[in-house]
C-alpha cells in the first residue's frame, strides 16, 4: 500500500476540540464526506483532502455517514435519529429531513437504494434495517447473539459482519 495524500485538519474558531473524523464515505464524483462528532460537523473534502464549502453543523453528535445517491447523505446521530442531508454542487450541505429510530444507532451503510443497515448499541438487536420512510426491520434469516452492545462494539461490528448481510 502506498500513501497518496495526508492532511492534518486544523481546529477552527467555531470548533470546541481538535477534529476527530469518525464516519467517512465517498460521493460518486469522488468528493469525501466525513463527520466530526467532537465538533458536531459534516464536512466535504476534495481529492487533496481540502475542506470544500461550509461544514454542516449538527445540534447533536453525528456518528456514521453513508452516501445514498449523487447528492444525498444519511448521518446517524446520538439522539436516535438519522439525518438525511443534501449536498449541492457548490458543497453546501443542508438538512432534508430526519428519521427517528427506535434505538440508538451508530454505523450505517446502504443495503439497497432505499434501505440502510445501522448498527445499534444499548439494544439486544445488534443491527437493524431502516428505510427512508422511517420503517424499521429486523433481519429474519440472520441469527445474532442476543446481547446489548456498547458503542465501541457497534462501530467495529459493521465492518466485520457486512459481508454476511448480502
What pLDDT does 22 receive?
86
151: left (phi over 0), alpha (psi -120 to 50) or beta: alpha
pLDDT at 38: 95
In whole angstroms, give the CA distance from residue 2 to residue 31: 20
Which residues, 6 or more positions from 124, have their beta carbon under 8 angstroms from its beta carbon?
146, 147, 148
Strand order through the sheet with 127-131: 104-110, 115-121, 127-131, 136-137
Q: If you ran DSSP here, which 8-state letter would residue 165 be given?
A: G
**From CA 105, how far away is CA 155, in angstroms rounded?**
10
User: What's the pLDDT score for residue 155?
Assistant: 52
Which pLDDT does position 74 carry in this prediction?
A: 96
* pLDDT tens digit at each of 166 positions of the chain: 898 888 888 888 888 999 999 889 999 999 999 999 999 999 999 988 999 999 999 999 999 999 999 999 999 999 999 999 999 989 999 999 999 999 999 999 998 878 999 988 888 888 889 998 889 988 776 665 655 555 555 554 444 444 444 3
**Residue 133, pLDDT score:** 87
Nine cell digits for residue 82: 438519522
Return the C-alpha torsion angle 7, 36, 129, 91, nearest 10: -70
Q: Calculate Rg over the CA atoms of the chain.
A: 16
Cα angle 123-153-102, degrees, rounded to a multiple of 5: 25
Cell numbers found for residue 10: 486544523
3-state secondary structure 27-78: CCCCCEEEEECCCCEEEEECCCCCEEEEEEECCCCEEEEEECCCCEEEEEEC
- Report the C-alpha gap between 89 and 138 in whole angstroms: 36
Are 33 and 19 in contact, with CB atoms under 8 Å apart? Answer: no
Amino acid at each position: 500500500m502506498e500513501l497518496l495524500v495526508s492532511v492534518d485538519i486544523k481546529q477552527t474558531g467555531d470548533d470546541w476540540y481538535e477534529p476527530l473524523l469518525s464516519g467517512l464515505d465517498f460521493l460518486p464524483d469522488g468528493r469525501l464526506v466525513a463527520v466530526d462528532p467532537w465538533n458536531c460537523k459534516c464536512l466535504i473534502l476534495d481529492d487533496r483532502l481540502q475542506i470544500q464549502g461550509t461544514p454542516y453543523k449538527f445540534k447533536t453528535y453525528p456518528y456514521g455517514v453513508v452516501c445514498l445517491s449523487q447528492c444525498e447523505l444519511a448521518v446517524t446521530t446520538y439522539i436516535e435519529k438519522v439525518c438525511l442531508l443534501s449536498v449541492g454542487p457548490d458543497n453546501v450541505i443542508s438538512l432534508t429531513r430526519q428519521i427517528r429510530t427506535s434505538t440508538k444507532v451508530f454505523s450505517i451503510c446502504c443495503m439497497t437504494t432505499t434501505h440502510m443497515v445501522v448498527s445499534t448499541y444499548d439494544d439486544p438487536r445488534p443491527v437493524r434495517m431502516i428505510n427512508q420512510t422511517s420503517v424499521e426491520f429486523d433481519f429474519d434469516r440472520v441469527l445474532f447473539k442476543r446481547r446489548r452492545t456498547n458503542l465501541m462494539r457497534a462501530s467495529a461490528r459493521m465492518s466485520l459482519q457486512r459481508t454476511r448481510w448480502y
